[in-house]
A and B are shown apart, each in its own frame.
Chain A
C-alpha cells in the first residue's frame, strides 16, 4: 500500500490529491447525498412545497407495478445480453485458439465494435430493422413474418438485446481468448495423448479452467447491460412500445427529466446505487480468484 521508503508529510501530498478529491466531493459525494436526501422528499408538481416523508417514496416504488415490471425486465434484458454475447464470444474464441496462424488477425477483425458508442449501435440496428426500409423486415416479410418493433413489445425487446449484445461480443472475445491462451499447452497435449477429442477437451479441461473469466465477464456484462445501454434504448425504442423496453436506468431518466418526479427518481437512483455497490463488492470479492494473464 505504502512504499517502505517514502517522503515525509508536508503540504505537498495534500496539494497532489486535491484536484481529485475536490472533483469527487463536488460531483460525486454531494450529488449522491442529495439523491439520498431527495429520495425522502415529496415535491408538488410546481415545486412550491416539499414534504419530508421518510421511506414513502420507496414504499410507493416497491408497490408500483410499473417499477416492479421494469425491474424484472432489466434482469431479463441483462441475462439475455450476457448469455448471447458471451456464448457467441466463447465459440469464436474457442476456434480462434485453435488457429495457429491468423489468430491475431481474427482478433483485430473482432474487437473493433468495442469502440462503437451504444447509441450508434442502436442506430445501426434501427436502420437494419426499420419496418419500412430495413433489410431484415423485408426478408422476414418474404417468409410471411410481420416485423414492426414500434408496435410489438417483444420485437422491440429482441432488437435492443441484439444491438447491446453485438457491441459487447468484442470485449468478451478478448478476455476469453486471453484466458484460453494462458492455459498451459502441456495439459491439453496430455489429454490429447490420452485420447480426448477436441470437444471432450473443451468440455472437461478448457471450459472449467476459464470459469473464473466466465464469472468475471458475467459481472462486467451485467453492469454493462444495467448502466451502459441507455443510449441503445433511447435511440431505438425510447422505452416503448408501452414501456416494454423501459429498463431501470431509462426509468430514472424518464421519471426525473421528462416526468419531473424528483422524489421518485431520486429513490430509484438510491436503489440503483445500492445495486452498483453490491455488484462492485462481488467483483472485488472474487477478483483475486481470476486467472492471470
Chain B
C-alpha cells in the first residue's frame, strides 16, 4: 500500500470477501445438497444451511450401490480408478519427458532436432481434435477399457519436455565436467546430479499433472464402456442423466463433492508448488 487510506482498505477487504463468497457459492450449495435427505431436496426452496444427513449420505454413496437406476460402479471403485489414472498420467509424463529432455540437452546425435520438433508438434494436437482416429488406434490395439488405454495416449507432453529442457540448461557445465573427471557415465550423471537438482520442478509439475489427469473427461468417456473402469468425473454425467427420472440430488452432490476433493486438496496443501508449476509450464 502506498498511502494510508483506511476506507479504501476496508473496501478492498469487502470486495475480496465478496469475491471469495461468489467463487465458493456453488460448492457451498453442493455441500448443503449433500447433507440432506433425498426428499428434502425436492421441495423448493432448497435449503441453504447444511442438514444432519451428511455422514449417512457419505456412507451410502461410498459403499452403497450409489444411485438407483444407474449402472455405475460403486463410488469407491471409481475413486480408485481416477486415482490410478491421475497417477499414471502424472508419473508417465514426467518419466518420459525427463528422459527425452536429458537426451536432447546432453547428447549430440543425428536427428536430434528432428525428434525435438516431433515432440513440439504434440503441443498442437490436443486430444479434442483427434478423438476419432485416436479412438480407432486404441480399439485396434485392444486397449479399450484398460488403464493403459486411458493413460498412454495422454502421456506424451511437449510442455513437460520443454520445462525440463529449460531446467537442464540452467545446470552449470562444470557439473558435467567434474562428474566426467570422476568417471561418471551418462546414466550415473542423470540419476545422481540431474534428478536431484530438478527435484522441486518435478514436484511442481507433478501437482499440475495430477490435477490434469484426475480431471480428464472426454477421453475416459470414450474409452471406458465397462462400468468397472469408469472414473468418478465421468460418472457424474451418468448420474445427472439418471436424475431426470429419479432425482436423488443428495447422492449426486455427494459424488460431485468426492470427485473434487482430491484435486482441491492437492492445490491447497501444495500451494507453493502448484503456483510454481502453473507459471513454469504456462500450461
Contact = CB atoms under 8 A, between A and B. Distances in A.
Interface of A: 1-10, 12-14, 16-17, 19-21, 23-32, 34-35, 38, 88, 91-92, 95-96, 98-100, 102, 106-121, 123-128, 132-135, 138, 166, 169-171, 174-175, 178, 185, 188-189, 192, 198, 201, 216, 220, 223, 227-228, 230-231, 234-235, 249, 252-253, 256-257, 262, 265-266, 269, 272-273, 276-277, 280, 287, 293
Contacts of A24: 118-119, 121-122, 156
Contact of A20 (B46, B96, B126, B131): B96
Contact of B105 (A2, A119, A124): A2
Q: Can you list the 3 inter-chain pairs with the closest CB atoms, starting with the nearest?
A: A31-B133, A117-B215, A16-B103
B122 A28 contact: yes
Given A26-B137, A110-B23, A120-B233, A20 B161 contact: yes
A110 B264 CA distance: 11
A5 B177 contact: yes
B167 interface: no
Contacts of A123: 236-237, 240, 252, 256
23 contacts: A3-B105, A5-B173, A6-B107, A7-B107, A7-B186, A14-B109, A27-B134, A28-B125, A35-B130, A38-B132, A106-B16, A110-B23, A111-B274, A114-B211, A116-B260, A116-B264, A117-B263, A119-B234, A125-B26, A133-B42, A198-B5, A249-B129, A276-B125
| Residue among A10, A20, A113 with most chain B CB within 10 A | A20
A19 B176 CA distance: 25
B152 A27 contact: yes
Given A128-B26, A262-B132, A276 B126 contact: yes
A293 B278 CA distance: 12
Contacts of B263: 115-117
A contact patch SS = helix
A48 B207 CA distance: 48
Given A3-B106, A98-B8, A178-B279, A28 B121 contact: yes
B81 to A, nearest CB: 14
A120 B259 contact: yes
Nearest to B215: A117
Contacts of B221: 234
B91 interface: no
A100 to B, nearest CB: 5
With a 10 A CB-CB cut-off, give which of A16, A107, A198 has the most chain B CB atoms: A16
Residue among A113, A123, A170, A227 with max Cβ neighbours from chain B (10 Å): A123
A96 B260 CA distance: 26
Interface residues of B, number: 105
Interface centre among B97, B218, B275 (most CB of A within 10 A): B218
Contact of B97 (A20, A273, A293): A20
Contacts of A175: 279
Interface stretch (B27-35, B58-66, B67-75): B27-35
Interface of B: 1-3, 5, 8-9, 11-13, 15-16, 19-20, 23-27, 29-30, 33, 41-46, 48, 95-97, 99-100, 102-110, 112, 115, 118-119, 121-126, 128-134, 136-137, 152-153, 155-156, 161, 168-169, 173, 176-177, 180, 186-187, 211, 214-215, 217-218, 221-222, 233-234, 236-237, 240, 247, 249, 252-253, 256, 259-260, 263-264, 266-268, 271, 274-275, 278-279, 282-283
Dominant SS among interface residues on chain B: helix
A118 B129 contact: no
B45 A135 contact: yes
Q: Which of B105, B106, B156 has the most CB of A within 10 A?
A: B156
B23 A234 contact: no
Contacts of A185: 2
Contacts of B26: 121, 124-125, 128, 166
A110 B19 contact: yes
Contact of A166 (B12, B23, B161): B23
A108 B155 CA distance: 29
Contact of A128 (B29, B110, B275): B29
A169 B23 contact: yes
Given A34-B136, A119-B236, A124-B30, A110 B20 contact: yes
Q: Find the residue from B12, B119, B247 having the highest chain A CB count within 10 A.
A: B12
